[in-house]
Structure formats: structure tokens, C-alpha cells
Structure 1
Amino acid sequence: MLTGLSIRNIVLIEALDLAFDGGLTVLTGETGAGKSILLDALGLALGMRADSGLVRAGTAQASVTASFEPPLPGTALAALLAENEIAQEPGEPLLIRRTLKADGGSRAFLNDQPCSAALLKDVGALLVEIHGQHDERGLLNPRGHMDLLDAYGGMDSGAVRAAHGAWQTAQGRLEAAREALDSAAKERDYLAHAVEELSRFAPEPGEEEALASERAAMQKGARLTEDLATLETLLGGSDGALSGLRQAARRLDRIAPEHDLLAAALASLDRAVIEAAEAEDQLARASEALAADPARLDAIETRLFDLRALARKHQVAPDDLADLSARMATQLARIDAGEAGLAELEDEVAQARAAYEAAAQALSEARRAAAKRLDAAMAGELAPLKLDAARFRTDVEPLPEGQWRASGRDRVEFMISTNPGAPFAPLTKIASGGELSRFILALKVALAAQGAAGTMIFDEIDRGVGGAVAGAIGERLSRLAGGAQVIVVTHSPQVAARGAGHLLIAKSSEGTITRTGVHPLDEAERREEIARMLSGAAVTDEARAQADRLLEGV
């Protein structure tokens, strides 16, 4: 609910601070007093287009601040503020501020936090509905008619949305599988060849390193073969060093007892024979370990070169060839089994579609039933508003399959026929200004609070009517105000008499300076203003008496 409005330097309004209560508040004043300026200022705060022409002449900047009751937790407004990280202190009013410079620049704030004009407009749409003869939003926008009808009929489209989501998810999986199958099928021959080639070669992780190590060892052995052979000749054999050491040891053994030094020499010589024998054994083992088998070396090099060539061909590391072979084999198996998988997905899609169609059909039937109830409610509202020749119809039409959506398979639009026998058409196409305003009011009453923001503003909805019709408009506005804050700009005394609060908009001049002001009226002032509305510039006693009767009759 709008609780306050502060305006600075907007057209003829120099400075204005207003407080608003709930219920029905009426704004009256002579033609040209500036009622539209007040609504333009509020519209600026609610995110409407920033027009530099609104800035009061001679000033550099205009501003409008609107305060609203704090949003209730769990509401769309509270969620929107939280989503955009707009802090809202519990119990504190929601403040909207918009500044506009004379050069056209503007800034917007929510609770003193800068925000975009787009966010401000979204927030404003949840706070206030402004209805007038040229309103192109709200009830006149067919895009919102389905939600209004669903709310009126108490329908929950959650089951349809869930079923639609499941259907679309299944359809997406099927399409992805088809694309993958089509793409893979084009490579089937390549995959089959590659899998056969890799399976025949049978690469193993770590094989490259093992082959390279063995190859390096054999190449080293080939280089050392001659040296090892020479060493074996020098050390072993009948003429080798070890044989000579043994012969010397045998000869020394015969004479060692003759002297201690000879015995010591024999001991050293025995150790040398043992060490030389060990060296001979190690050389033999080394020769065996480093033996270079030309056939084996050739086989190793062939395998190693083929392994690396295969890795380059498939653009992977040699150690990854085994994993690549497994992946390709799996992919090939999927291609071969692809048709069976597609059949399962197609069955899943068919089941999900059937579930959606069943839920959408039930929702369509509920909508058609609610449409009949709404049409009957509207029929009861039109006659008192001098629209008794008009007819209202809620069209619930099936959409072609390509347009089925999460909200169902229907197109919903409010239609009217203004004269007997005239075809039905959208409200905005065939209703005149006065008729359109009354249709809006009738719809708001018939729909009660469905889709309504906390504050509804009606701009001269009673233009061109009077008497009983104006009285009926006032009664319906008062009824609406029982469930929401209603503010109405009116020229009708019958409507003004229904207000719980009354604001008078007046223009004053001081020399060359003209200002617009707004004055809350007490009971006596209300009586005088309604009498003026009844009689014109010269207020008569009869007009005052009639004003009393209007005030007493509400």
C-alpha cells in the first residue's frame, strides 16, 4: 500500500508531501489543476519513462519519493528484492526514489540503493496498478489474461508445468541421442578400423618406457661387446691373468715355509686369486646381461616405433592408447546398439507427452468452467455501468501443438461485443474511452483481488457518465477498496462522495509563478468541494444540500 508521496520540482509542483491511508481515496479539482501531474510524478517513481519535460522550469533537478508498506515475506515483491540484493529491514517502509535532471539524466533508488529503471519498473508493477482510458497494460494485456483466469478459478498449473518440464527433458535427451548417433554413425567405418587396429596391436600402459629401457640396455651391450671380450681374454683362459696368478700361488706355496715374508706373500696372492675369480664371474654375468641379440633388438625397435607412430596417428600419448581403444570400442558398441536405445527414449518421450496432455486437458476443462463463471459475473456488472447492451466473453482456445507450453495448451483472451449482433473483439479494439474505463472497472470487480497490486489507481474512469452510472462506479470502487487501496481521480460527485479520504488538487499563481498544490479535506471541506462539483463555480445552497444527501447515502 502507498503510504506517502514526496514530490519536488515536477512541472507545477514545487514541493509536495502527501500521506495516504487505505480504502478509497479520491482526488478532485478543476480541469487543468494538475491532477495528471500528480499521476505523472508517481509514474516516474514507478519506473515510467523519464521525460525531462517534467522538471520544473528554472530548476536543475526533480525528484519523487514514494513510500510503501514493507513487503510481506514469501511474496513476489519480497522475492524480487532479495533476488536483486535490495536490503529490506523488517517493519521498515519500502522507499522508492527517482531523480530526473533537466538535461534528461535520471537515477533510481530502492531503499536508498541504486538500481536500474527496469528493476524499478518491475517493482512498481507489483506495487501499483494504474488504470485509465489509454491504459495498455494490466487487464488490457492479453498476455496476463490466462494468469488472471487461473487465479479467478483457483487453478494450479503446477502439475502441467512439471509434466511439460519432464516432457521437454525427455525430448531433449532423445534429440541429443539422435544427434550423437547420427554423428557417430558417420565415423563407424573409421571406428571399426581403429578398434581392429588397436586391438590387434594390443598396446599396454607403460609399454613405451619398458621398450625404450630394454632397447637402450641392448644398444649399450652392443657397444661394450668388444671390451668385454678383450677383458675375458686377458683375465681368463690358459694364458690369462687369473691362470698366471694361480700358477704363481702354487709355486709360492712350495717355498712359503722357508720364510715368514714368503708366507705373507702367499696369503696376499691367495686373496688376489679370489678377487680375480670374482671379477671373472662378474664379467661373465655382465656379458650375459648386456648381450645384444640383433633379432631381439630389431623386434624391440620395431614395436617401439610402431607404438609411437600409432600414438601420433590418434593424437594421444602412447600410454593412453589402451584407454583410447576401450573408449572407441564402447562408442562402436553404442552405435551398434543405438537403435534399441533410441526406441527406449522414444517410449519415454511418448509417456511424458501423454502425461502432459492429460494434465493440460484437465487444466483446459477447469479454465473453460472458470471462464463461464467469469462471464456470468461480468454480465451482472455491465448493466449497472450502462453497458447493458454489451456482452463479455472469455475465450479459451486451443493452441497448435507447436505452441504448447508450460502453462498449458490454451490461449486465453477477454473479448467484448458492444452492441447486439456485433462480433466479439479485444477490448482495446472496439471500446470507446468511457466504455473502456467502465469495462476495466467491471473486470476488476468481477475478478476481485485476482492479480491486483496492493494499490490501484483509476484515472478519470467516470469521464462522460453521470447520475446512476457514476453512482454505480463509485459503489464498485468502494467495494474494491475493501480489499485493496484504491485511489481515483474523478470529476464525479457521486464517486467523490464514496471516498474515505479526499484530496483537493488546486492551482495558484503568484505573479508569474504558478504552482499546483494538494490539500487534504476535512468533512466540511469535502461537502463544499462536492457541492462545487455539482453546481460549478458558484456553489449554491441546493448544491450543498445535494452534497449532504450524497455523503449521507454512502
Structure 2
Amino acid sequence: MLTSLYVRQFAVVEEAEVAFGPGLTVVSGETGAGKSLLVDALMLLAGARADSGMVRAGSDRAELAAEFDLAGLPEALGWLREEALDDGETCQLRRVIRAEGSSRGWINGRPASLAQMSALAALIVEIHGQHEHQALLSRQHQMALLDAFAGNEEAQARVRDLAKAWRDAVAKIRTLSGGDDRERQIELLAHELEELDRWALAPAALDDLEAQHRRLANAGRLAEGANGVVELLDGESEFAIGRALLRAHAELSRLAELDATLTPTLELLDSAQIQVGEAVDGLSRYAQDVELDPERLAEVDTHLTHLHDLSRRYRLPIGELTAKAEELRERLTELEGAGDALERLGRERDRLRGDYDTAAAALSKARAEAAARLGSSVATLMGELGMAGGRLEVSLEPADGDDPDPQGRERCELLVSANPGQPPRPLRKVASGGELARISLAIEVATLGNDNIGCMIFDEVDTGIGGAVAEVVGQKLRALGERVQVMCVTHLPQVAAQGHNHLRVAKESDGESTRTRIQALDASGRREEISRMLGGVEITKETRAHAKKMLDRAQG
């Protein structure tokens, strides 16, 4: 359930915080006052696309925040735990939209992507905008409504999973059998595997090969360099380090005879002479042992060339070629031993087909039963909404093809007749916008409330109706509010009177700037607002009396 909504510097709203309770909350106000801003704010918190035009003029950013009580919504709580965003049984969605167009979102104070905000919002709030009925024109949406009405979630999920498993088994059979080119695939895989086994190396062996290549390719330079360093350390030049150390040692020996405290330093020079001597011996041996082996260099170079060619062919780093070889080995083993595997997969495919047929038949039966109930329920509502004699039929047509289909064995089409004597026609072909709106509202009222959603938002879905029909719409929304929390933006007094709570949105101006104020109305305020909605510019005592009577009847 939505418990509070906070908006700051959003469109014409400078700052507002609104508390919400259970039941039906109606939102009213004059045309252009910004009644739908609350819905817009919730849609943005639900991950809708934002733009800089939503930021109040002269501000650097707009801030939106909503708090929800998730008690009784285990799916939402489970999703939060899985995403490590949980914080007890409450949840806060927050979003900041900057004037340059960028935005950021948070869930329970932790940064969240718009995809995460959208996924969570889908579990806690359902928003029906002014043109939401257009979604009902989609046959896929119609099937989803029928399944929700019937409570077919588990049955439909089983059909979907079995169809996927059957298709996976068929794909594996096709891969293993290889069709007419199975032998060619085996031959190609064997050739590729032989090539990889010959050239691909494990990481340690690859490092050693590359080190060999560097050493062999630079053998002449390495030998020449080592000999040069030997000359620097122990050459004939008077500046050679070995000669310099000898002279230093002789001089320091004479000084140590005069002062014994220099003896430790003399010992350091002894050590240095020993180390320089060892370095000279090691470098001399290295220079003699460096391989000048053009044939070995050519072999290593050829090996590396093959590795680079394979790397380009398979689009993999050289170090991953051994893993590729194992992958090809497994595929080759599967193809070569396909007989047993194909027999096992064939049995699995046939079993899945049988299970699918059983599950799909059960789903078809449930859909057919629900279709009759939904048609009857919607027809009754259409009569209450001023379309006496209108009816709705849910047509279930066989799906194309005989293979297991994730959606089941049938397709759904809603057929409606708005007036007695008219043949039912597809809902998507109904010409009158007013008729479509009322039919859609009847379908929504008949099907909503079946899913586990804590809050439902309606933005002027009562457009195009009035009088007694409007009162019926209000009664239906109020009845829905007895099951879940409902917020409805309306311009009809008949609907507004049915609310358990009432918010009024008003636009104020001081001549220099305009702002919107959102006010929770008490009993007296509700009478005045209903009177305004009934009477327009001039509100008389008769108008107020009518408003009071309308409220008393609705609330009673």
C-alpha cells in the first residue's frame, strides 16, 4: 500500500507531501490544475522515462519519493531480498531528475537502476492512465487478462515450461543427428581438434614458448651485451669496476692499519669483490651458452604463427585455445556417440510432448470456463455502464501449427456487441471511442483485483461518461477499494463522492509565479469541492445541498 508521496520542484509543484490511507482516494481539481501530476510522479518512480521539462522552471532538479507498506506482498519482499535492497516490510522509492535531463534512482536509500525500479513497481503498484484501454486492443494482452481472471498463472507457467523443454530437446536432437551432414561435421571437428591439440598450449607452456622466442630472437644481442657488461666489471680498462675495487681495497687496508674502526668497511669491500667476481663468472658462462640456433627460432616462430592464426579464426585469446579444444572434443564425442544420446533424447521428447498435451488440455478447459464467466460478468457491467443489451464474447481460436506452443493451444480474441441485435465484432474494430472506453472499463473492473497488487492508480479512466453511469463507475471503484488501495484522478462529482478520502489539487499564482497545492479535504471541504464540480462558477445553496446529499448517499 502507498503510504506517502513527496514531490519537490516537479512541474508546477514547488513542494508537497501527501499521505495516503486504505480504500479509494479520489483526486480532483480544476482543468489544468495538475491533477495528473501525482500519477506522473508515481510513473516516474516506477521507471518511466524522464526529461528536463519535468523540472520546475528555475530549479536545478526535481525530487520524487514514495513510501510503501509491503505487508501482505510476499513477492515484492522476496524480490527486495534477492536484490539485497530489503529494509523490513516498508520500502521507499526515490528519484532525482536534473535540469539537464539526467536522473538517478534509489530503493531504500541504495542506488538502483531504472530497470530495478520498474521491476519492483510492477509488484506493488498498477497504473491505468487515460489511454490505458488501448492496451486491451492487443490480443496478447487479452489472453493475459483472461488467464489472470481465471487464475491460470501456474497452469500457464507449466505449459510454457514444457513447451520450452520440448523445443530444447528437439534442438539437441537436431544438433546431434546433424541431418545429412553429420559425417561432414564429425570430419570437420576432428580436423579442428587435431589442429588445436597440435598447437594450443596450456598457460605455463605458452609463457615458456614466448620466453624462448624472445631469447632466440635476441641471442646475438644478449651475448654481446653480456660480454660488454663483463668488460665493464673486469676488463683491461683502468675504469673497470674490478680494478677500481682492488685499488680501493689496497688503500683502505693501509688506512685500517691506522684506525681499526675501518675494518668493517674493509670487509664490505671484500664482499663486493667476491660478488663482482661471481657476476663476471656468471655472465661469461651466459655469453658462452646463449643459443644462436636459427632452426629452433624458426620452429618457435612457426608455432606462434599458428597460434595467432587460430586465435583469429576462433576469435579467442591464445591462452583460451586449450579450453576451445576441450569444447570441440565434447561436441565430437557427442556426435560420434550420438546413437545412445539420440535414443534417450527421443524418449525425453515424446514424454515432454505427452506432458504438454495434458497440461495444454487442462489450460484450454480452464480458459473456456473462464471465458464464459468473463463474458457474463462484463455483459452485466456493460449494462450498468449505460450499454444495456451489450455483450462480450471471449473467442478462443486454435493456434497455428501442431508443435507445443508456450502460450497454449489457443489464441484469444475479445468480441463485443455494444447494442442489442448487433453481431459481436473484435474489440480492436469498435469504432466509437466512447464505447471503447466504457467497454474497456467494464473489462478492467471485471478482471482487476485478481493479482496480488497493493495499490491501483486510475487517471481519468471515467472520461466520456456522466450521470447515472458515472455513479456506477464510482461505486465499482469504491468496491475495488474495499479489496485493494485505489487512487483515482477524476473530474466527475459522482465518482469523487464515492471516495473514502479526497485530495484537491489547486493552482495558485502571485502574478510572478504559479504553483500547485495539494490539500487533503475534510467533510466540509469535500462538500465544497463536490459543489464546485457540480455547479461550476456559481455555487448556490441548492448545489451545496445536492453535494451533501450525494456524499451522504455514497458514504452511507
Partner of 2:98: 101
**TM superposition shift of 1:110:** 0.9
Partner of 2:119: 122
1:497 partner letter: A
Give the Cα–Cα distance (whole angstroms) in 1 for the partners of residues 362 and 6 of structure 2: 49
Within a 5 Å distance, the mapping from 1:42-53 to structure 2 comes to 42-53=42-53
Give the Cα–Cα distance (whole angstroms) in 2 for the partners of residues 356 and 133 of structure 1: 40
1:68-94 superposed Cα distances (whole Å, 9 cap, x missing partner) = 11364641x2333334332x1223x21
Change (3 A) 1:120 1:457: same
1:354-384 superposed Cα distances (whole Å, 9 cap, x missing partner) = 3312221221122111111111111111011
**TM superposition shift of 1:173:** 3.7
Name which one, 1 or 2, has greater alpha-carbon Rg.
1
**TM superposition shift of 1:476:** 0.5
Normalization by structure 2: what TM-score?
0.67
**TM superposition shift of 1:388:** 2.7
Partner of 2:35: 35
Give the Cα–Cα distance (whole angstroms) in 2 for the partners of residues 453 and 181 of structure 1: 53
Q: Does 1:89 align with 2:90?
A: no
2:128 partner letter: H
Within a 5 Å distance, the mapping from 1:51-450 to structure 2 comes to 51-70=51-70, 72=72, 74-75=74-75, 77-86=76-85, 88-91=86-89, 93-135=90-132, 141-155=138-152, 156-157=154-155, 158-179=157-178, 182-184=181-183, 342=342, 345-388=345-388, 390-401=390-401, 404-419=404-419, 420-421=421-422, 424-427=425-428, 429-430=429-430, 432-450=432-450
Change (3 A) 1:181 1:465: closer
**TM superposition shift of 1:27:** 0.8
The secondary structure found in structure 1 opposite 2:132 is: coil
2:102 partner letter: G
**TM superposition shift of 1:42:** 2.3
1:104-128 superposed Cα distances (whole Å, 9 cap, x missing partner) = 1111111111111222222223222
Give the Cα–Cα distance (whole angstroms) in 2 for the partners of residues 459 and 437 of structure 1: 13
Give the Cα–Cα distance (whole angstroms) in 2 for the partners of residues 143 and 79 of structure 1: 28
Give the Cα–Cα distance (whole angstroms) in 2 for the partners of residues 392 and 376 of structure 1: 7
**TM superposition shift of 1:131:** 1.7
1:123 partner letter: L
Partner of 2:18: 18
Gaps of 5+ in 2: 191-328
Q: Does 1:515 align with 2:512?
A: no
The secondary structure found in structure 2 opposite 1:405 is: coil
Aligned residues: 411
Q: Which stretch shows the higher mean deviation, 102-111 or 441-450?
A: 441-450
Q: Check the 8 A contact 1:133/1:434 in 2, yes or no.
A: no
**TM superposition shift of 1:11:** 1.5
Change (3 A) 1:58 1:350: same
Q: Check the 8 A contact 2:68/2:91 in 1, yes or no.
A: yes
**TM superposition shift of 1:189:** 13
**TM superposition shift of 1:187:** 5.4
Give the Cα–Cα distance (whole angstroms) in 2 for the partners of residues 505 and 361 of structure 1: 52
The secondary structure found in structure 1 opposite 2:178 is: helix
**Backbone CA RMSD of aligned residues:** 3.0
Partner of 1:213: none
**TM superposition shift of 1:160:** 2.7
Q: Which stretch shows the higher mean deviation, 541-550 or 136-145?
A: 136-145
Partner of 1:244: none
Q: Check the 8 A contact 1:188/1:332 in 2, yes or no.
A: no
**TM superposition shift of 1:343:** 5.2
Normalization by structure 1: what TM-score?
0.68
Partner of 1:504: 504
1:228-248 superposed Cα distances (whole Å, 9 cap, x missing partner) = xxxxxxxxxxxxxxxxxxxxx
Change (3 A) 1:171 1:97: same
1:211-266 superposed Cα distances (whole Å, 9 cap, x missing partner) = xxxxxxxxxxxxxxxxxxxxxxxxxxxxxxxxxxxxxxxxxxxxxxxxxxxxxxxx
Change (3 A) 1:403 1:492: farther
The secondary structure found in structure 1 opposite 2:461 is: coil
**TM superposition shift of 1:481:** 0.6
Give the Cα–Cα distance (whole angstroms) in 1 for the partners of residues 53 and 184 of structure 2: 66
Q: Check the 8 A contact 2:460/2:491 in 1, yes or no.
A: yes
Change (3 A) 1:455 1:373: same
1:109 partner letter: W
Change (3 A) 1:115 1:136: farther
**TM superposition shift of 1:552:** 1.6
Change (3 A) 1:437 1:84: farther
Change (3 A) 1:511 1:414: same
**TM superposition shift of 1:534:** 1.1
1:103 partner letter: E
2:140 partner letter: R
Gaps of 5+ in 1: 192-327
The secondary structure found in structure 2 opposite 1:401 is: coil
